[in-house]
Structures are given as structure tokens and as C-alpha cells.
Amino acid sequence: MIQVLVSCVMWTLVASLLILRRGRADHSITYASAIIALSMTLNIDPVYLAIDPLFGGTNLITLAGDALLMIGLYFLGRGVLRAGDYRPRPVRMAISLPTLIIALICVTTLFSFAHRGTTTTTFMSDHGHQPLAGAYSIIVFTYCGVVLAAMLALAISQYRIANGALRVPATLLAVGSACGLALCLTVLIMDVTHIIGALNLMRIVETAYGPLTLATFAFLCAGFIAQPATRSLMRRLRSVRTDAFVMQLDPIWQDATKLRPGLSDVHETPGIFEEPEAKLHRHVVEIRDAMIDPRVNFEITPSDRALLERAESHLLGEGRASASPATIDPIDLGPRQK
């Protein structure tokens, strides 16, 4: 049941990113999410039982699913890493291609030499007492834990430099990464206790596995969905504020251009097709030009001056920490556009 829920959550993330990121050239996070979703789908019992016999019936799909999970987490981590300026050396080493390749070679080698038996949906329960099988699982989840720890550090960094609504996605990613770390620690304890034969302790720790798995993927998916959704909402709110400033400044602008015709009267303007930001900028500039031109006598009230200053601050993006290039770009989570 947990596998089905997690798989549904991951495919929901993939669908959401395809919609929210459809205009972007970089789709690395979408691809990474699809890889992890495929990994989770392979762990669904009926799917596993249907596919594994096609590959010899020796639980090779266990290795495939775990390898896909590691690869997917690698690309997720790389996406988050490239999106910000906080890139300490330990984080870059943890989320690096050589680290992934070494981990994949180790787990493939250990899995190849372990006794795998016939197709079973409870591979670690059946064979986890073997040192080779236990070491295989330990390396898989140690790698996942290292990547999640790096993602947690990056999410905390983004939370510190973000403001307002943009802290919500960073918080969700941080919580998801922390739950993932707890999940990896849980699996490591289960592996060790299984190898040494402390089965009672293993079963006690195992009770946390399902809830932590669901919490990890739910929070991570919510964080990745919240990022483009939040940025899209903020763009819409900014557009509404821009339109409001244009409407409020329009009477002042008309009075200003009557006394001092500006570019609006010299050059043909695009009218209703003009970008709202460009129109607001033109209004502000032409009002300011009329105010400082000694050839005309144009003055505005203190309240109008305050409105003009607010419009200028809006155009400059003052108070919008979300516009800072150092923050995660939730639409891309990939290389930032220059």
C-alpha cells in the first residue's frame, strides 16, 4: 500500500511539473522525478511480480529500482545545487557524478554476489540476513542519505535568503529532506539488526519505515510543486499591482503630458498591447520629467508624490527578495538563465 501511495505522489509531481514548467527549456527536475516515480512503481508488488520473471526471476528488479532511486536523487540534488549560489565543497562532493558511479558499482557488485533466490516482493526480509545483501542495502541508503543531507543543507540556505511566501517551498523541501534522512537511518538500523540477528529490535524500528517513506516523498513533492506555483502566484500578484499603479498614475500622467509632451506624443506607442511594466515605467519617467523641467510649472500633491515613489519602488523590485538571483528558481531548479 505504501508503494502505491508513494508512486501516485511521485507521478502527480511529474504531471504537475510538466504543466507548471512547460515553457522552460530545462526539464532536469521533471526527468529526475519521473526516474524516481518509475523506481517506486517497480516496487509495487503486482508490477514487481509481473516484470521480474521476465529478467530471470532472480530479483534483478530490486537492483533496478534501487539504482533508479539513486540516479533520480542525484539529478534532484544537482538541480537544487545549480539553482543557488551556496555550493560548499562537501555538498558538491556528495552530489557529484563520481560519487554516484562509485556507489552504483559497489551496489551492483554486492548484489551480483549475494544469494538472491527467486522472485519475491520482500527481498530484504528474505535475504537481508546475508552480509552481502545487508551491505548492498547499507550502501544504497547511505548514498541516499548523503544526497538528502546535502539537499537539506541547500534548502536551509535557501530558507535563510528567501522572504515571505518563497520560504514555504524551502521549508517543505527541508522537512522532506529531514524525513528522508530519518528514513535512511531507519533502514540502516534495520539492516544492521537483521545481519546480527536482533530481529525483535529490527521489527520495532521497522514500524517507522512506512510513515517516514510517505512523509519523505509527500513533503519533497509538495516542495517541488510549491516552488513553481508560488513563483507563478507572485508574478500574477505583481502584474495586478502593476495594473493598479498604472490606473492610479494615469490622471497625473495625463496632466503631466499636457504641459510637457513626452515620448508618448513623439513616438507611436503600442497602446493596449504595451507591456504593463513598460507602460508604468513610461508613466513614471514622463511624470518625473515634467516635475523637473524648468520650462513648465508642474507640481503634484504629497499623496501623489508618495504614490509615484511607491510605483518606482515597485518597478525596482524593492522588498522582493524573491527576485534575487541567489534564491532557488522554482520554475527551473536548473541552470539559471543569463
What does the pLDDT read at residue 287? 85
Q: How far is CA 235 from CA 38, 55, 242, in A?
A: 33, 49, 10
Which of 184, 177, 220 has the alpha carbon at shortest distance from 205? 184
Q: What would you report as the CA-atom Rg of the chain, rounded to the nearest whole angstrom? A: 28
For the chain, 338 residues long, give each residue's pLDDT as a single digit of tens: 788 888 888 998 888 888 876 656 557 788 888 999 999 999 999 999 999 999 999 999 999 999 999 999 998 888 777 766 667 788 888 888 999 999 999 999 999 999 998 999 889 988 989 999 999 999 999 999 999 998 898 889 888 887 777 788 889 999 999 999 999 999 999 999 999 999 999 999 999 999 999 999 999 999 888 877 777 777 788 888 888 988 888 888 888 888 777 655 544 555 555 678 888 888 888 888 888 888 878 888 889 889 888 888 888 875 443 333 333 333 233 333 33
Q: Which of 137, 81, 84, 129 is nearest to 106 (CA)?
A: 137
Q: Using alpha carbons only, what angle is made at residue 110 by residues 108 and 112, rounded to the nearest 5 degrees? A: 65
Contact indicator for 143, 187 with CB cutoff of 8 Å: no
Return the pLDDT at 158. Answer: 84
CA distance 221 to 224: 5
* Neighbouring residues of 108: CB distance < 8 A, sequence distance ≥ 6: 63, 67
Answer yes or no: are the C-beta atoms of 298 and 290 closer than 8 Å: yes
| Contact predicate 216/183, CB 8 Å | yes
Residue 335: phi, psi to the nearest 5?
-60, 130
Residues 6+ apart with CB under 8 A from 287: 249, 252, 253, 256, 300, 308
Q: Are 128 and 134 in contact (CB under 8 A)?
A: yes
Q: How many H helices and E strands in the chain?
A: 14, 0
DSSP state of 166: G
Measured over the CA atoms of residue 38, residue 41, residue 43 and residue 48, the dihedral's sign is negative
Q: What is the CATH number of domain 2-234?
A: 1.20.1070
Return the amino acid letter for 318: E
pLDDT for 3 equals 83
Taking the chain, what is the end-to-end CA distance rounded to the nearest angstrom?
A: 45
Residue 99: how many other CB atoms lie within 10 Å: 16
